[in-house]
Homo-oligomer: A and B are copies of this chain.
């Protein structure tokens, strides 16, 4: 081989091994044969085999009984154990401040927690706002309020149905809602990409919310703005949604799907992690 240029080459076997991981993560739902793996990674079969063997020995790759390779469960385990330095609240705070300052309204950050949604943070605007969510730490059933609704809407179908089945009584109990209404609103959310339903419970108030997806396209949270109904003309709403979405997307790109804050929001409410 001739060395034409002086690329800052690193340990080749590491580079190649990682590329194998990428390839494995890339396509197959049920694993990949060695020959395909080699071809896609641009390696000879001998080399791919050697690397795959090492990856397997280290637990980063699993082998299926029919001799196929796939990303290993240990990999999942390692990733889940890795703590991302910033929890969701820290990541989102600048966005909340920006939105609050730009829109002159109150911004909420909502995270799902089982069958509920928890308000993880808020940045107040100049107008006093009443909301379903209430203050930081506030907890409402999935489906009640715009931010909550938007999360519910984007859940995987199975899961969404399950949540609805359980929460419907709670929702009916707390507001002028029935199943038909809820389903209609969910459809609206999925069609428009945001929630702006007026529940009619907080007179003069209205909210607009957009979903935050993690890097695997799962809903994990919602950004929501609470404002006075009169302030939200149709054209302003479009603008608001656009701004919210821009921030939501930026946030989503930075989210690990394993962030503990997404799983146990309550632990992070105090700003300090609770033990256990």
Residues of A within 8 A of B (CB): 10-19, 21-22, 24-26, 28-31, 50-51, 53-60, 62-65, 70-85, 90-91, 93-94, 97-98, 100-101, 111, 113-115, 118, 120, 122-124, 128, 130, 135-139, 156, 158-159, 161-163, 166, 215-216, 253-254, 256-264, 276
Contacts and interface: CB of A to CB of B under 8 A. Distances in A.
A76 B10 contact: no
A82 to B, nearest CB: 4
A164 B172 CA distance: 45
A124 B262 CA distance: 13
Copies of the protein in its oligomer? 2
A51 to B, nearest CB: 6
Nearest to A124: B114
B94 A50 contact: no
Nearest to A11: B13
Contacts of A91: 158
A118 B113 CA distance: 22
Given A11-B14, A71-B84, A76-B82, 18 more contacts: A10-B51, A10-B57, A14-B54, A17-B17, A29-B83, A70-B82, A73-B253, A73-B260, A76-B258, A77-B137, A77-B139, A78-B137, A79-B258, A81-B138, A91-B158, A93-B158, A94-B161, A94-B162
